[in-house]
Amino acid sequence: MSLRIAFTSAIRAVSRPYLVLPAALSLATLALLSPPAMDDASAQGFRMQGPRPGFVGGGFSAGGPSGRFPSARARRFSGRPFIHPKSGPRRRANGIVATVPGNGKGGMGMRGGPRRTGTTTDTRHPKGHGRHPKGHRRHSSHRFWPPIVVPGGTTVVAVPVPGPSAPPPNVRGGSRRPPSTPPAQSNRRPPANRPPAASVASTNWGRYVPNEVVVEVASGISPRTMDALLRRHRLTQLETVNLQFSGTSIRRLRINNRRSVPAVVRALAADRAIMAAQPNLLATLQDDVAAPAAAATDLQQYALARMRMPEAHGLANGDRVLIAVIDSGADTEHPELAGMILDTFDAIGTGDRVHAHGTSIVGAIAARARLRGTAPGAHILVARAFGPSRTSMDGTTTDIIKSLDWAMARGARIINMSFAGGRDPAVARRLNEARGRGIVLVAAAGNAGPNSAPLYPAANRAVIAVTATDDGDRIYRAANRGKHVAVAAPGVDLLLPTLGSDYRMTSGTSFSAAEVTGVIALMLERNPTLGPDAVRQALVSTARDLGAPGVDPQFGAGLVDAYEAVRSVIPATAAAGASPTTGSGGQ
């Protein structure tokens, strides 16, 4: 209306010269008294869809289109900024910002900073308490529109899709990763049995492959999610092992830079797409220095006699009981082993496929030519997880897991593990699965000496740990001790088969464990319904006590008595018809 009057006065002034001076005075007065020229959206209360030129934060920039004060009166009070009732706080060139109760900076839809409530923010007038100088109150009753929050980015959610068919457990080989891209976030929730990540950071891992880690993920994880995980942690996938009995998948991954393995494991353990993470740990076959075979010919029978194997063979010989040996490769052409190895599996896939240790272990269980094993009628499955070369004794987490999964799939009743190392959570989970399926697990106590910490898998509660004794029933000098030791068996100076149809004299808890594995095969032949707990109980309750009375950390329950162990598990009806066997029957 004021502009219309001024315009009319100007027209009249053109036609009537004596009106020019009054019209000019009217225009000057209106310019001083009119409100500031505001943006249309702010003046009319429209919500703006984002920031516009001239706005900085929630106020106005000093040089913006609305960066002046509305009146000369307000300019006189430069110490306190004026806040127009419809425009929110303003920012003057001196940097002072005022806020009012309500929705804080931003006014009517102007994109501002954090929401504030309270009084005027002015360090030069701390006692202003929101009041205009000279007592004039601000108009705080006006309704302030909430600020529009514009997201800074978009979260990409990876939707799991069915992956390709699972590769065989021994499929190896990685693939080149695509160029690095922003990682996709997954909404996949981890399974309920995810191991606690806190235990990962505090584990003393021991020996492991320097630049590799092992993770366990759901078997149905989508390729897209897995690729994002690899990019996120800067890893390259080397191998996939799809486990048949857990619904999970083991992935062997290479670290692509010089980060330490424990640091990468900790980072992976915090990733929700991963169920468990650990190094690719190393375990070692438990073998001592071998001596020429000729020196052992006079001792080859002491082990059988100490355990009363001749009497036990009068009751059973392990006929067709399926035993899996997870070890190095065995010489299937050796005369002692001919015809008894039912199947083999190579988890390593490269290097020497036969090894002295694996050959001797199978011979201790089932030799039946010049020597006699503890279960000469058993059928043997050999899984090669150790000894990438004939001079190597090491095996990795992934190769052990592949071998365990294969043995379970083949229906093994007993699994012999003549190796030892640090605690391996991934292997422990597979052992618990095997025990849950009724498989009896036997392991060497270890050859690290009396001061060593317990070694695994023998120290796992699902496993029967076996230590070694000599021909005088004395403890093997290098044997581990501990409460986990269940029983003992001869393991010093044993004559056993080796490579090239030859024989060697060797020592170690490895071979004691193999002998007890054979005894268990005899027990299962006579009573196939036995479970792991019943087998352990029979061995412990019939063992001949050695050392301190009762169970002790050196010998466990004592030396295995094969004859009494087998006889104790024969069902009552069968035992009534069986005649006692004495002497060397069965030889």
Chunked in runs of 10, what are the mean pLDDT values of the chain (587 residues)?
56 56 59 49 38 38 41 44 45 41 40 40 42 44 37 30 34 34 37 43 78 95 95 96 93 94 95 94 83 52 93 97 96 92 94 89 95 96 89 91 97 98 96 97 96 96 97 96 97 93 94 98 97 98 95 97 97 64 38
Residues 251 and 399 in one domain: no
Q: What's the Cα-to-Cα distance from 520 to each of 118, 416, 445, rounded to whole Å?
A: 81, 11, 17
Contact 443, 464 (CB under 8 A): yes
Tell me the three state secondary structure of residue 482: coil
Residues 321 and 270 in one domain: no
* Set 233, 313, 334, 357: catalytic member: 357
Question: What is the pLDDT at residue 9?
Answer: 57
Burial class of residue 424 (count of CB atoms within 10 Å of its CB; 0-12, 13-18, 19+): buried
Whether residue 158 is contained in a domain is answered as no
Residue 249 main-chain phi, psi, to 5 deg: -135, 135
Q: Which domain holds residue 131?
A: 35-150
Query: Of 39, 227, 288, 327, which one is the catalytic site residue?
Result: 327
Q: Are 367 and 337 in contact (CB under 8 A)?
A: yes
pTM above 0.75, yes or no: no
* pLDDT value, residue 391: 76
Check if 545 is active-site.
no
332 in the same domain as 206: no
Q: Are 130 and 151 in contact (CB under 8 A)?
A: no
Domain match, 66 and 52 both: yes
d(CA 441, CA 323): 10
Residue 387 and residue 309 in one domain: yes
Report the pLDDT value the prediction gives residue 390, as an integer from 0 to 100: 74
Contact between residue 101 and residue 82 where contact means Cβ atoms under 8 Å apart: no
Decide if 257 is inside a domain: yes
Strand partners, 435: none
φ, ψ dihedrals at 21, nearest 5°: -65, -45
Q: Which residues of 157-174 are buried (b: 16+ CB within 10 A; e: fewer)?
A: ebeeeebeeeeebbebee
Rounded (10°) angle between helices 509-526 and 532-542: 110
pLDDT the model gives residue 232: 95
In a shared domain, residues 382 and 311? yes
pLDDT digits (tens, 9 = 90+) for 202-254: 468 889 999 999 999 999 999 999 999 999 999 999 999 999 999 999 999 99
508 and 398 within one domain: yes
List the CATH number of the domain containing 559: 3.40.50.200
Using the 3D structure, point to which of 281, 300, 318 is the last residue of a domain: 281
CA distances from 88 to 83, 100, 120, 561 (A): 6, 8, 12, 93
Position 1 in a domain: no
Same domain, yes or no: 464 and 326? yes
Quick one: pLDDT at residue 452? 94
| Together in a domain, 259 and 321 | no
Question: What is the reported pLDDT for 389?
Answer: 75
Number of domains, the chain: 3
Q: Which tokens sit at 536? A: 């352990």
**Does any domain span residue 301?**
yes
Reply yes or no on whether 142 is catalytic: no
Structure tokens at 308: 């009363």
> How far is the CA of 5 from the CAs of 1, 9, 10, 26, 34, in angstroms?
6, 6, 9, 9, 13
CA R_g for the chain: 41
Q: How far apart, in Å, are the Cα atoms of 438 and each of 223, 324, 463, 533?
A: 34, 14, 12, 9
Pair 208, 353 in one domain? no
Within a domain: 157: no
The catalytic residue among 9, 328, 360, 510 is 510
Which of 259, 281, 303 is the last residue before a domain boundary? Answer: 281
Domain boundary among 115, 150, 185: 150
Whether 327 sits among the annotated catalytic residues: the reply is yes
232 occurs within a structural domain:
yes
Is residue 9 a part of any domain in this protein?
no
Evaluate whether residue 308 is within a structural domain.
Answer: yes
DSSP secondary structure of 549-570: SSSBTTTBT-B--HHHHHHHHS
Are 452 and 435 in the same domain? yes
Q: Are residues 178 and 118 in the same domain?
A: no
